[in-house]
């Protein structure tokens, strides 16, 4: 039992200071240890006394209530509405179509780090063009490959300006916007099959030292004069 408790304690400490709990594989060892203890208890018919059940459960419930009250009183920079995520205060003028192959699954973490030195950043995120608001007068940042080409083409028409980052689709698959309002960013080692097709139409800004994945994508997007808030 001490070994089981130790494994859960180590896992809890690691999860508190990092993102290890986000990986399902790392739950296998603690879960297996817990199953061993439960099996032992069932087989021996040995269960803790009632007070040992009530104290941790009551303490956990009380801690959750306290944390909920504290969290409700805080104003978060991140909120979700209608399938869209907004970072910052106010109404975002820049909307980003997310492809996690380009900006990663933890793209919000990179944005939080960037916002420490650029606190006025405000941006919206969506994984599908169907989730975007009316893009009239707004900037669109599109990463990778869209989910729906038809809806993406409509967004291209209405957006005031467009930035493409390592596009994974060909210009012929959507109605490309005018050259005057499009910025093309391509990783030096990008493996996009449409790289040459876009390069023939627009002068790409080459991102040295990177491929398709951009770990520091906020600096590439918001440092560009066209995409500044």
* Cβ contacts of 187 within 8 Å, gap of 6 or more: 166, 206, 207, 210, 211, 212, 213, 214
Question: pLDDT, tens digit, for every residue of 54-105?
Answer: 777 788 888 889 888 887 766 677 877 777 888 888 888 899 999 999 999 8
The verdict on 26 and 128 lying in the same domain is no
The domain in which residue 176 lies consists of: 78-227
Q: Is the pLDDT of residue 229 over 50?
A: no
Question: pLDDT, tens digit, for every residue of 164-179?
Answer: 999 988 888 876 555 5
What CA–CA distance (Å, rounded) separates 77 from 92? 12
Total domains in the fold of the chain: 2
Asked whether 212 and 190 are in contact (CB, 8 A), the reply is yes
Point out the domain boundary residue: 39, 73, 107. Answer: 73
The verdict on 45 and 100 lying in the same domain is no
């Amino acid at each position: 039992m001490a070994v089981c408790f130790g494994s859960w304690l180590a896992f809890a400490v690691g999860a508190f200071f990092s993102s290890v709990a986000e990986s399902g594989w790392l739950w296998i060892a603690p879960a297996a240890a817990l199953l061993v203890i439960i099996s032992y208890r069932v087989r021996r018919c040995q269960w803790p006394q009632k007070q040992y059940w009530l104290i941790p459960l009551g303490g956990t419930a009380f801690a959750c209530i306290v944390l909920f009250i504290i969290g409700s009183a805080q104003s978060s920079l991140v909120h979700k509405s209608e399938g869209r995520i907004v970072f910052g205060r106010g109404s975002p003028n820049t909307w980003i179509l997310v492809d996690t192959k380009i900006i990663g699954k933890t793209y919000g973490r990179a944005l939080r780090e960037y916002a420490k030195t650029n606190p006025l950043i405000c941006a919206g995120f969506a994984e599908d063009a169907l989730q975007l608001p009316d893009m009239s007068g707004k900037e669109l940042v599109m990463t990778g490959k869209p989910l729906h080409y038809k809806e993406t083409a409509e967004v291209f028409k209405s957006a005031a300006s467009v930035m493409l980052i390592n596009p994974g689709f060909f210009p012929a698959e959507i109605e490309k916007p005018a050259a005057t309002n499009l910025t093309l960013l391509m990783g030096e080692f990008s493996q996009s099959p449409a790289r040459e097709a876009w390069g023939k139409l627009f002068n790409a800004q080459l991102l040295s030292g990177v491929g398709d994945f951009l770990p520091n994508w906020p600096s590439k997007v918001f440092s560009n004069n066209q995409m500044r808030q």
